[in-house]
Structure 1
Amino acid sequence: MTATVLRLSQTDDVAIALEDVTRGSIAGEVVAVDDVARGHKIALRDLDAGAQVHKYGHVIGVATSAIRAGEHVHTHNLGMPDAAATLASGDASATRAQLPSDLRRTFPGFVRRSGKVATRNYIGVLTTVNCSATVARQVARRTEDEVAALHAEGVDGVVALTHGTGCGMANRGAGWDILRRTLQGYARHPNIGGLVVIGLGCEVNAVNGLMEELGPHDDIPVVPYTIQDAGGTMAAIDHGVSLVREMAGDLRGTARQDVGVEHLVLGLQCGGSDGFSGLTANPALGVASDLLVAAGATSILGETPEVYGAEQMLAARASDPAVGDALLRRIAWWEEYTRSQGTTLDGNPSPGNKAGGITTILEKSLGAVAKGGHSPLAAVCEYAEPAPGPGLVFMDTPGYDPVSVTGMVAGGANVVCFTTGRGSVFGSRPVPTIKLATNSELARRMSGDIDLDCSGVIEEEVPLADMGRRVYDLILDVAGGRRSLSEELGLGGEEMVPWQIGAVL
């Protein structure tokens, strides 16, 4: 019996099983001494305990015991090395994509008075504090059907933008700054065509203070109020419903117009990754990102814990040494931050990641950074900070999907691509989420959630450039109004989750 395996680099110590490998079968150049599940690693040579183990041509861990050629390599015999960050390689070079002559360069978008371009036209009901979240959700629930019925007339819906904080916190420091940046980013997002802001009335994150920082809104109508001033819960709900209906009526007839792809800001996210993520969907998304960047758009790569071990590769692509240094400082901050919380960055791979064949954070990161393609790294920005495009931008976010994407949306992302190998039901209203599958089994099993199956890169030998072009075209289709499956399912109303740092008082 023979089984197909893939060796990614001649210097690699392991190969990836492209199908289930049975003990005793021939797997590439070795005979399997274990059963090895699809997507998992098989040793190509004997390795002593303590030896560094390579995949993608880079260190992904150390052997915690002697490993025989043909043996399954995973959590039982592969661990994190000491001083892992020092083993990160910086041998990646930046390249600018060559744009094909037939590449689409425009899409139909909503153009705001300021010139900002939206991919969707939502009414947002934003809360300053968790205390007003129920009122905001009730306002959205009581109007969502009638507003959704206006989709053909240029109104995409109403979304409650709620969160779990806003009081019991200091009004200064990192946690405060992150919350205010996040709320301001959503309030100013071009995909919001009308905004209702609801507070309780006595919170630390007061409505009047937030509105002062937001400044005048010439693009869209913005109406703030508090539950206490409105006369209580029912009065506040009724007032919000009236405002949403009025805004929806005003937005009727909003038309799209052709604009250049340079107005796109793409959020790059992966979740539920598996052993195929770094081989199919992530590099295909990287190709699409490179095409967009070369055409003048902006791509945001985040999830700082998930570039650990690959940070030197990104830093080596920085357009300016100061940009690379900024990224390395964020990695150092995360090392100290996780240490102070009694954990390490290797705590990131989830049980699902490990079941899918990923063992260490170093291995996960080497696959995750493929989403960023090969474009020069133009800038590094703080969480929820406006992305300083055009170009490939790195945003400091946690790896946790809703927190990470919340920062990207607040930073201006107007379309999100989400790769997954284990499966995801993520959405990100008011921004469309496109989900890309890494393997065909997932694409079949969760066909109602997956917008594009990228497994053909491995399973059908589809050239990576061709799959990347499919991703690029899908991004433009969705940005231009085609609903992603997450939108069809109504997902994305619970995924605004600002990163919380600091004391709860």
Structure 2
Amino acid sequence: MEYQDLTPVLVLNDSDNVAIARRMLTQGTVLGGSIVAKSAIPAGHKVSRRSIQSGEPILRYGQIIGFATKDIEPGFHVHLHNMALGEFDKDYAFCAAARQTDYLDTPATFLGIRRSDGRAATRNYVGILSSVNCSSHVANVVAEVFKRNPFTGADPLAEFPNVDGVVALTHKTGCGMTGGEPLNVLRRTLGGYARHANFSHVIVLGLGCEVNQIGGLLEDQRLAGRVRSMDIQTMGGARKTVAAAVEFVRDVLTESNQVTRQPIPASELIIGLQCGGSDGASGVTANPALGAASDILVRHRGTVILSETPETFGAEHLLTRRAVSREVGEKLIALMEWWDAYFKREGAIMNDNRSPGNMAGGISTIVEKSLGAMAKGGTTNLVDVVKYGETVKGPGLVFMDTPGYDPVSATGQVAGGANLICFTTGRGSVFGCKPAPSIKLASNTPMHERMKDDMDINCGEILSGGESVEECGKRIFDLILRVASGERTKSEEFDFGADEFAPWVLGATV
């Protein structure tokens, strides 16, 4: 769909009874025909196109996003004050919309790094992982030894231009936790990072007495021989561990530096799709544009990962229709049932999964947020549904079970093999995800102009009619290839990406 009409509002589907404000609308603005705005309506927010009776469904994208809580006349602002979430039947229609993918005969290429085991990398880091929070400080001290000083310009890696950096990825768990699924999730996450193609070498640092014993981690994730490991108690304390770990990094830097970028098919790209700090325009501009880029990548036999399970609630029936098999569709429904039980156990409701920024930006219900968020996945078949941090295999659209919280969600995607992240935002998120580069896509022009140092692409021209969704999607795809080839993103220029490492914490803290 192209948005070349410069009327004050956008109508996303002919069946919708609300439209979306392109810009801030003042009272009296003519919206079309005899309809005028009855009050000021912020950009990205909803306005009624016709009379809506109390209890009647509110339709956006041609889908139910909630129900009117009072009668709404044409031209009125539609938001939290006059609509709410409600129950409605969904037809899963497994596989009904699945269709054969139109693959391209000659895939595009990017300049990537080919590892000795054949995998493709987009970056070349040396990684320091902590098995437990108790070894986090030591890991960070080691990484600091190799960090460029922004004030003096001193660069310990100046002799190793092909090494993107030495990064410590630490977390707040690993002990005081129960076994079973909580420990399995942590180990699966750490294992995914330890094996990640964007790391040339990895060292794991522990304390020695934690629940997440390094020996158990290496055995469980089959990492023996792939990583170096040390624990502080055995090494004789923090200082000695730092000295030994620094020596290890210095020893491997020369080998790490011996890489050459070469043409690699785009089929070997695995892109994690994220949105955070969403607004009412996200589901109109950045998310569908990223969806268009996802469709292009899949046609090149690449893989995209859609996640954030609580932010798919209410829209899951649209994904089950695209599932390649009933089994894949039912795996997604099983996730929804798990999350429903999880929310109830915690005394929460699914509709609470909206941030204050989301609501200020015009998102009224979790279903509205979900419908906009899932647009990132494009229109191709759903080929698989996987656990958090589980290895992703394509090509095509894969759904990974993750929370909606961006750092936790993206951490799972990278653990699953994502070698690049695309992140849409309407309010303005600043996020990195080492060792994978993170591309930021702004949903509206004012925020893009305000936060130019953090945004890589402005998708806001779609709102003003200056660009179609498809044209913006092509720009995103072209940038994906350039970033995969080594072009630095805005978040990389500001050195984001280490502190955002956040494995999903499940179970009791004991």
TM-score range, shorter chain: over 0.9
- Tell me the distance in 2 between the aligned counterparts of 1:476 and 1:10: 36
Deviates more, 1:228-237 or 1:72-81: 228-237
| One-letter amino acid of the structure 2 residue matched with residue 25 of structure 1 | T
Letter in 2 for 1:299: V
2:207 counterpart letter in structure 1: L
- Distance change in 2, residues 1:467/1:97 (3 Å): farther
Q: 1:425 aligns with which of 430, 453, 463?
A: 430
Residue of structure 1 in register with 2:3 after alignment: none
Corresponding residue of 1:377: 382
- 2:116 equivalent to 1:113: yes
1:28 aligned residue:
32
The answer to whether the aligner puts 1:123 opposite 2:126 as a matched pair is: yes
Kindly indicate whether the alpha-carbon contact (under 8 Å) linking 1:128 and 1:199 is maintained by their aligned counterparts in 2: yes
The answer to whether the 8 Å contact 2:121/2:198 transfers is yes
Tell me how far 1:171 sits from its aligned partner. 2.4
Q: Would you say the 8 A contact 1:143–1:245 is kept in 2?
A: no
- Structure 1 pair 250/208, CA: closer, same or farther in 2 (3 Å)? same
Seen in structure 2, the aligned counterparts of structure 1 residues 80 and 445 have a Cα distance that, compared at 3 Å, is same
Query: Aligned AA for 2:291?
Result: G
Q: Which residues of 2 match residues 41-440 of structure 1 at below 5 A?
A: 41-81=46-86, 83-84=87-88, 86-87=89-90, 93-94=97-98, 98=102, 105-145=108-148, 146=155, 148-150=157-159, 152=161, 154-172=162-180, 174-215=181-222, 222-440=227-445
CA separation of 1:148/1:272 partners in 2, compared to 1, >3 Å: closer, same or farther?
farther
TM-score, reference length from structure 2: 0.94
1:148 and 1:87, CA in 2 relative to 1: closer, same or farther beyond 3 A?
farther
SS at match of 1:165: coil
| Counterpart contact for 1:273–1:353, Cα < 8 Å | yes
Alignment size in residue pairs: 497
Deviation of residue 217 (structure 1)? 5.9
Letter in 1 for 2:502: V
Per the TM alignment, residue 28 of structure 1 is displaced from its structure 2 partner at its CA by 2.3
Please give the alpha-carbon distance, in whole angstroms, between the structure 2 residues aligned to 1:90 and 1:35.
Answer: 41
Contact 2:103–2:301 at 8 Å: present in 1 too?
A: no
Contact residue 188 and residue 221 of structure 2 kept, 8 A: no
Partner residue, 2:23: 19
Q: How far apart, CA to CA, are the structure 2 residues paired with 1:442 and 1:88?
A: 37
Q: Is the 8 A contact 2:66 2:365 kept in 1?
A: yes
Q: In the TM superposition, what is the alpha-carbon distance from 1:87 to its structure 2 partner? A: 4.3
Deviation at 1:235, TM superposition (A): 1.4
Q: Secondary structure at the match of 2:475?
A: helix
Q: Please state how far the C-alpha of 1:388 moved relative to its aligned partner.
A: 2.2
Report the TM-score when normalising by structure 1. 0.95
Can you give the 5+ residue segments of structure 2 that lack an aligned partner in the other structure? 1-5, 149-154
Cα distance between partner residues in 2 of 1:226 and 1:215: 18
Seen in structure 2, the aligned counterparts of structure 1 residues 39 and 97 have a Cα distance that, compared at 3 Å, is: farther
* Matched position secondary structure for 1:144: coil
Offset of residue 93 of structure 1: 3.0
Letter in 2 for 1:149: A
- State how far apart, in whole Å, the 2-side matches of 1:341 and 1:88 are: 28
**Residue deviations 1:139-190, cap 9 Å, x none?**
11111224543563x1110111111100111222x21111110010000101
- Cα distance between partner residues in 2 of 1:148 and 1:346: 48
In 1: Cα distance, 2:123 partner to 2:133 partner: 26
Q: 1:468 aligns with which of 473, 496, 500?
A: 473
> Residues 58 and 89 of structure 1 are in contact (CA less than 8 Å); yes or no, is this contact kept in structure 2?
no
Segment drifting more, 181-190 vs 143-152: 143-152
Partner SS, residue 53 of structure 1: strand
Q: Deviations over 1:409-457 (max 9, x none)?
A: 0000000000001001100001000000111111100000000111122
Aligned to 2:152: none
Aligned-pair CA distance for 1:214: 3.3
Q: Which moved more, 1:427-436 or 1:336-345?
A: 336-345
Q: 1:266, 1:345 → 2: CA distance?
A: 27
* Residue type at the aligned position of 2:26: T
Query: Structure 1 residues 118, 225: CA separation in 2 closer, same or farther (over 3 Å shift)?
Result: same
Letter in 2 for 1:183: L
* 8 A contact 1:435–1:449 mirrored in 2: yes
The answer on whether the counterparts of 2:18 and 2:48 sit within 8 Å (CA) in structure 1 is yes
Q: Distance in 1 between matches of 2:24 and 2:223?
A: 60
SS of the residue 1:210 aligns to: helix
Q: Are residues 38 and 239 of structure 1, via their aligned partners in 2, closer, same or farther at CA, if it must alter by over 3 Å?
A: same
